[in-house]
A = this chain, B = another copy of it.
Amino acid sequence: MADTKDLEARIKALEQKVAMTEDIEAIKRLKHKYFRCLDSKLWDELAECFTEDATTSYTDGKYSFRGVEAIIGFLKKSLGPDTVVSMHQGHQPEIDITSEKTAKGIWTSEAGLIITDRNVSTREVNFYYDEYVKIGGQWKIKHTGYRRLFDEAWDRGETKSLRLIANMFAPRKD
C-alpha cells in the first residue's frame, strides 16, 4: 500500500516539471508573438511583450535601448512605415528556466526587409540571446539582442522580372 507522504512527494515533483514545461511553452509563445506583432506593425501588442525596463542590444549592440518606450520608438521608426515590409522569423529555441521567475533563451532567426520606395531587399540571419522574467503570471522579455551570422542587401531593380504580387501594407486601391 502506497504511503500518502511518498505520493505527495511524487506529485510535488510532477508539479515542478509540469510548471517548467508550461513556462518553456509560454516563453516560446511570447517570442512568437513578438515577431508576429513586429511584422504586423502591432505596436501596442508588441509593447506588452516587454518589461517596463527592458533592454536591447540589436545588431551586435549597435542598437541598444533601455525601457519599453525607447525600444518601441526605435522599432516603430525603423519598421513602421508602410514602405517597409519586414519579415522576422525565430527558430531553434534553447530555453533555460533559471528560477521560478527568470529564464534565458537562445534563438536563431531569419529576417529580411523589402523597402518598397527604395526598391531594396535585405536578408540576415542572427543568433538571439534573451532574458525573460515572469511578472504577474506573464513571461516578458527583459533583454533581447543578437549577434549577426550575416547580413546582406541588394537592389531589387537589378532583377527586371521581379514582381511584388502582394504586400500587406501596400496602399489599397479601393
Q: Please give me the residue from chain B that is nearest to A165 by CB atom.
A: B151
What class of interface size applies to chain A in its complex with B? 35 or more
Residues of B within 8 A of A18 (CB): 14, 17-18, 21
Could you say which of A3-11, A48-56, A72-80 contacts chain B? Answer: A3-11
Identical copies in the complex: 3
Contact B149 A106 (CB under 8 A): no
CB atoms of A162 and B152 under 8 A apart: yes
Complex CA distance for A166 and B22, rounded to whole angstroms? 37
| Nearest CB in chain B to that of A4: its residue | B2
Which residue on B lies nearest to A6, using beta carbons? B8
Contacts of A148 in B (CB 8 A): 166-168
Inter-chain CA distance A94–B40, complex, in Å, is 15
In the assembled complex, the Cα of A40 lies from the Cα of B148 at a distance in Å of 11
Known contacts A11-B10, A114-B150, A164-B150; is-contact A92 B36 (Cβ 8 Å): yes
Distance, CA A73 to CA B94, complexed state (A): 26
For the complex, give the distance between the alpha carbons of A130 and B165 in Å: 24
The answer to the question of A33 belonging to the interface, with a C-beta cut-off of 8 Å to chain B, is yes
